[in-house]
Amino acid sequence: MLVLTGYFCCVVVEFTALALIGLRILPAGSFSFPELFRFSAVCFIGGLPSLTLMLLVSSQLKNMWVTLGIGIAGFFSMMAMGGGNNTLFYLNPFYLILQPALRRTLITDWVGVAFAVAETVIFTILGVLFSRYCHNES
């Protein structure tokens, strides 16, 4: 819950800054709060699968470097798949983070949102199951 709250605060600060920039710098009438809220929600939801996967991995492994290595591998896989439009790329939780930045319009990618929600639920259920049955104790 602490990591989720921290991630939410980061998204709020980021999009508050974008709103201030939009209100102060952009021409009058060109900034839309509903578009900003929708875009921020998609960005928040798109980051949840990678966050839950990293929490799942770090809860099961004692070594911090393995978790860090998985994050770095996820980042490189995200960058390698970044420009592609293949639907199978949505199975990579790190790919979903980059999708809002690669869109040239603010049209919401509902397929990406659905994959993000499904992956978040799956990783959360796996985390609960692993915490019940697989105790990683010294």
Say what the pLDDT of residue 135 is. 61
CB atoms within 10 A of CB 128: 11
Interatomic CA distance for residues 134 and 18, integer angstroms:
43
**Residue 134 half-sphere exposure, CB side, CA atoms within 13 Å?**
10
Say what the pLDDT of residue 32 is. 85
Nearest to 51 by CA among 99, 89, 8: 8
Say what the pLDDT of residue 44 is. 92
pTM of the model as a whole: 0.82
Say what the pLDDT of residue 96 is. 83
Say what the pLDDT of residue 45 is. 93
- Hey, what amino acid is at 63? N
| pLDDT, block means (10 residues), the chain with 138 residues | 89 92 86 88 91 86 81 84 77 83 75 91 91 65
Say what the pLDDT of residue 115 is. 92
Phi and psi at 34, nearest 5°, equal -60, -35
